[in-house]
Amino acid sequence: MKYLLDTDWTIDSLKGKQPIAERVKEFREEGLAVSMISVAEIYEGIFGSKDPKKHEEIFKEFLSGVIILEITEDICKKFGELRNELRKKGELIDNFDLLIASTTLVNNLTLLTNNVKHYERIKGLKIKSS
Domains and CATH numbers, the chain: 3-128 (3.40.50.1010)
d(CA 110, CA 32): 10
- According to the model, what pLDDT value does residue 14 have? 95
**Residue 111 to residues 46, 84, 116, Cα–Cα distance (Å):** 23, 21, 10
pLDDT: is 118 or 100 the higher one?
Answer: 100
3-class DSSP state of 33: strand
Predicted TM-score (pTM) of this structure = 0.94
Nearest to 4 by CA among 83, 119, 121, 123: 119
Within 8 A by CB and 6+ apart from 7, the residues are 37, 38, 41, 42, 96, 100
Q: What is the mean pLDDT of residues 32-44?
A: 98
| pLDDT averaged over every residue in the chain | 96
Query: How would residue 1 be classed by pLDDT, with cut points 50, 70 and 90?
Result: confident
Q: What is the mean pLDDT of residues 1-10?
A: 96
Task: Report the percentage of the chain scoring pLDDT > 90.
Answer: 95
pLDDT of 130 higher than 90: no
pLDDT of 65 higher than 90: no
pLDDT of 92 higher than 90: yes
For 108: left if phi > 0, alpha if psi spans -120 to 50, otherwise beta; the answer is: left
pLDDT of 33 higher than 90: yes
d(CA 112, CA 1): 13
